[in-house]
Chains A and B, each alone.
Chain A
Amino acid sequence: MSAEMTGLWSVDSGTARLNGIRCSSCGLVLFPPQLYGCPACGAGPGELIPAALPAAGRLHSFAVVNLHPSHPTPYTILEVELDSGPLVRALAASNFDPRINDRVEGHEAQVDGTPQLVFERARVPLA
């Protein structure tokens, strides 16, 4: 793998997973992925192990964006605390009316003509 990784998520049998990393030295789980070093313990690239992170978590916050220099608006940005730990930002599915603490899950969808990982309320409430 190069230090600059593309492909931020994978879809397998209809289930989306984020391509994160786990530090084998201190256990920190990180997204987005990088192979520079662990920001928690400083372990080197050899300790950073690819980790497929379920695209599921709890809605931490959200914002409906009405102004952007290049992207069509409005769109909604979500902040999701993944069950595996990291706080990630993602687009909301177009029909999702978010509430903080909602259980959410991600799936791939076309947004403005390109594939994106979008989140919405989990169809099956998880534990």
Chain B
Amino acid sequence: MKTLAELRPVYVVGIGLHPYQRPSEKNYVLLGLTAVREALADAGIAWPAVQSAYVGNVLVGMAAGTAMLRYLGATGLSIAQVENASASGSTAFRQAVIEVAGGFSDVALAMGVDKPGPIASGPGKAGVRGLVDDRVVPFTHFALLTQLYMEQHGATPEQIAKVAVKNHRNGALNPYAQRQQERTLEEVMEPPAVSGVLTRLQCTPVGEGAAAVIVMSEEGIARHGIEKSRAIQVVASAARSEELSGTLNFDVALTEKTTHDAYRQCGLGPSDFDVVELHDAFTIEELLYVEAMGFSLPGEAVRDLEAGAFDIGGRVAISPSGGLIAMGHPIGPTGVGQVAEVTRQLRQEAGPRQHPGARVGLTHMVGVGPVCVVHILQRPG
């Protein structure tokens, strides 16, 4: 298997978003076009320059991407829609990166767009049912993990809720975030708990939105006169699916393996990172994943969190966008939005939520399957 280090260098040269928000009457086409036009303007290119597009989408449905992108001009480019549960946007980005790295295109778009709606679920149709499947919605799955973490590491509900305090503080600085309001620990912990010790503000709001990034080869950058200092290199791309992990949570096991695959691809390790956008759909996930990724020793994530290690300006800023908890999780766009945030941070263009001197960043999504997708981005020079 090849890695990006053996292929053509790939750079993110344009980013754009439609703010994540509560479901509205706005059509998905308008959400998506807003993000793509912003990404084109950011790159300083016109739509006909884009040779290929990957559209992450779960809920809108068949051919959502082509029915939207035609309004930028039906140029005949290759378009494919990508569904990979919560990692759909991340996978769309990976496909665009692979296509440019492999030399098939010099300019590719990765985007995601979604609106809440009914989910047609493969696992639900597989005919394999446990005793209580329909009673265990996602927040209960993560409440089970929270209880186990508290038992194993002596963590308290207050300590776990502090993840949401930090991420709401970051989201309050992000004009694209669905939740742009700082929250005190008391507000985050306000009863009722929805399941276990998890309260509403410790769970991601699933809304609507769109995110887009444009990736280019060095040939593309030269051809389109892209300012090299704002081009952020993608130095690792890793994706995995389930391996049986016994009683160890599958997302944790998968995160550890996928992240370390990515580390090996580019020769970077946990101490090299400045910013990380990870799948914090529920507070407990941030703690579990920073340990699996090696940013904290096992059981010490709450101590590091309380010491400010994961704040903007701390040792490594975790979810400076506000993460899934505050920026939101519109499903299809989420992984692409993470790439946009890390790119903005590495360009030093994140304004009030800028992590000082950010040079290396990581994006991470898990999804139903389970699947996991990790990318590492680096500012050249």
A77 touching B132 by the CB < 8 A rule?
yes
Please tell me which one of the listed residues B135, B146, B246 contacts residue A77 in the complex, with CB atoms under 8 A apart.
B135
Interface flag for B194 (CB, 8 Å): yes
Residues of A within 8 A of B247 (CB): 60, 81, 87
Interface flag for B130 (CB, 8 Å): yes
Residues of B within 8 A of A122 (CB): none
Question: Per-position contact with B for A84-120: 1 when CB-CB < 8 Å, else 0?
Answer: 0001111100000000110000000000000011000
| Residue from A62, A63, A117 having most chain B Cβ neighbours under 10 A | A63
How many interface residues does B have (CB within 8 Å)? Answer: 30
A31 touching B130 by the CB < 8 A rule?
yes
B129 touching A62 by the CB < 8 A rule?
no
Residues of A within 8 A of B244 (CB): 28, 39-40
How close is B52's CB to chain A, nearest CB, in angstroms?
34
A101 vs B136: C-alpha distance when bound (angstroms): 21
How close is A117's CB to chain B, nearest CB, in angstroms?
6
A61 vs B136: C-alpha distance when bound (angstroms): 13
CB nearest to B242 among chain A residues: A39
A23 vs B269: C-alpha distance when bound (angstroms): 39
Interface flag for B184 (CB, 8 Å): no
CB nearest to A39 among chain B residues: B244
B147 touching A89 by the CB < 8 A rule?
no
Interface flag for A12 (CB, 8 Å): no
| Contact status of A63 and B131, CB under 8 A, knowing A77-B140, A100-B147 | no
How close is A97's CB to chain B, nearest CB, in angstroms?
13
A61 touching B147 by the CB < 8 A rule?
yes
How close is B183's CB to chain A, nearest CB, in angstroms?
19
Residues of A within 8 A of B139 (CB): 67
Contact-residue size bin, chain A (C-beta under 8 Å from the other chain): 35 or more
A33 vs B144: C-alpha distance when bound (angstroms): 23
A82 vs B193: C-alpha distance when bound (angstroms): 28
Question: Per-position contact with A for B115-137: 1 when CB-CB < 8 Å, else 0?
Answer: 00000000000111111111111
A65 vs B128: C-alpha distance when bound (angstroms): 23
A88 vs B131: C-alpha distance when bound (angstroms): 8
| Contact status of A63 and B127, CB under 8 A, knowing A40-B244, A68-B135, A89-B136 | no
A36 vs B145: C-alpha distance when bound (angstroms): 29
Residues of A within 8 A of B25 (CB): none
A60 touching B137 by the CB < 8 A rule?
no
Interface flag for A11 (CB, 8 Å): no
B144 touching A79 by the CB < 8 A rule?
yes
A87 vs B148: C-alpha distance when bound (angstroms): 14
CB nearest to B152 among chain A residues: A100
Interface flag for A32 (CB, 8 Å): yes
B144 touching A62 by the CB < 8 A rule?
yes
A-B contact pairs, 5 of them (CB 8 A): A61-B148, A63-B196, A66-B192, A77-B144, A89-B132
| Sample of 11 more A-B contacts, CB < 8 Å, known A32-B130, A33-B128 | A4-B127, A4-B128, A31-B130, A62-B144, A62-B196, A64-B193, A69-B137, A77-B144, A79-B144, A89-B133, A90-B131
